[in-house]
Amino acid sequence: MKDSKIIIKKVKKVEGGGHHGGSWKVAYADFVTAMMAFFLLLWLVTMVSPEKRARVAAYFKYFSIFEKGGTSFMDKSSEMFSESGATADKAFADYYGTFGSSTMTPETLKEAIREAVETMLGDIQDQILVKVVKEGVKIEIIDKNGSSMFPIGSAKLTPKAKEILGVLADNIGDINNKLFIEGHTDSSSYSSSSDYTNWELSADRANAARRHLERLGISPDRIVRVVGYADKDPLFTDSPRDPKNRRISIVILFPEGKKQPDGKSKN
């Protein structure tokens, strides 16, 4: 009888991870995709102008799911990021929920302007004061040592003044509220001529601001009063020569129903 041969087959058992299969690869791929999307988003943000970033930031800061339910932000993104300034501003107005809306109040407008000032004019934001007053919302653009709206004794706007007015025009351009524009000086007199006083200077400065706002797209029909107060309405009554008393005031008027119930000013 021939010898029978026994064949033994050894099966190597793989320890650990066998039952997971390739699922870790899927998870890793998802992670890499997410990171790629994140860095792409960061890159896109750096490519967007500061003004448009401010609009998007303000949109999300005050976004309410109860008011915006059923509206896709992505459907509107092309308008919000449009290269057309007018279209982008209109998109910001519509989606922000205050500009061009019957729900706009002095308080919401004040906060929107403050947000824009902090974002766009961070280095000089201390020169723009925004508050709710009896008439509506008042924006005070004040001078300080080394940073003025106008050269001493002149009604010619400085580049810094034009920059400030440009940001403000972008944020009030899509509402229909009427405007007051006021000019103020300190108590110093810079002219030896009795025919040109702080009364004329303050009025000329208010008109210079008016003309520039109109060039920026503010409708002339919205501006119902332009007046110069000279040094008769100072911010600092105990220091009439303080440069902060030199300022341009823009008052955005609101109907009675939109004002604070007690009619008091709020800083």
183-229 residue pLDDT tens = 999 988 766 667 889 999 999 999 999 999 999 999 999 999 999 99
> Could you tell me the CA-to-CA distances from 134 to 103, 138, 260 in Å, in that order?
18, 9, 8
Which of the listed residues 94, 119, 137 is the one where a domain comes to its end?
A: 94
Range of the domain at 77: 26-85+88-94
Among candidate residues 131, 74, 103, 121, the one with its CA nearest the CA of residue 267: 131
In this structure, the answer to whether residues 250 and 146 fall within a common structural domain is: yes
Do 66 and 114 fall into the same domain?
A: no
Residue in the structure block whose two tokens are 């440009």:
166
Within a domain: 15: no
Whether residues 69 and 126 fall in one domain? no
Both 246 and 158 in one domain: the answer is yes
Domain termination residue (choose one: 36, 62, 94): 94
Same domain, 80 and 109: no
Whether 240 and 126 map to the same domain: the answer is yes
Give the model's confidence band at 158: pLDDT under 50 very low, under 70 low, under 90 confident, else very high: very high
Residue 20 lies in a domain: no
Helices (H) then strands (E): counts for the chain: 8, 5
Instruction: Provide the whole-model pTM.
Output: 0.60
Residue 39 shares a structural domain with residue 156? no
Position 155 pLDDT exceeds 90? yes
**Residues of the chain above pLDDT 90, percent:** 39
Q: What is the mean pLDDT of residues 98-113?
A: 73
Residue at 162 is within a domain: yes
Query: 146 pLDDT exceeds 90?
Result: no
**Domain annotation covers residue 195:** yes
C-beta separation of 147 from 161 below 8 A: no
pLDDT > 70 in the chain, percent: 65
Check whether 124 has a pLDDT greater than 80.
yes
The per-residue pLDDT for 180 is 95
Q: How big is the chain by its Cα radius of gyration, in Å?
A: 30
Regarding whether 138 and 54 lie in a shared domain, the answer is: no
- pLDDT level of residue 15 (50, 70, 90 thresholds): low
Distance from C-alpha of 52 to C-alpha of 261, rounded to nearest angstrom = 34
Edge to edge, the sheet with strand 247-253 lists 128-132, 136-142, 247-253, 179-184, 223-228
5 part of a folded domain: no
What is the number of domains present in the chain?
Answer: 2
Residues near 154 by Cβ (< 8 Å), separated by ≥ 6?
Answer: none
Q: Does residue 263 form part of some domain?
A: no
Q: What is the model's pLDDT at position 72?
A: 52
Give pLDDT tens digits for 38-95.
888 888 777 766 556 666 666 565 555 555 555 554 555 555 555 444 444 444 444 3
Decide if 187 is inside a domain: yes
Pick the last residue of a domain from 94, 116, 138: 94
Is residue 111 domain-shared with residue 150, that is, in the same domain?
A: yes
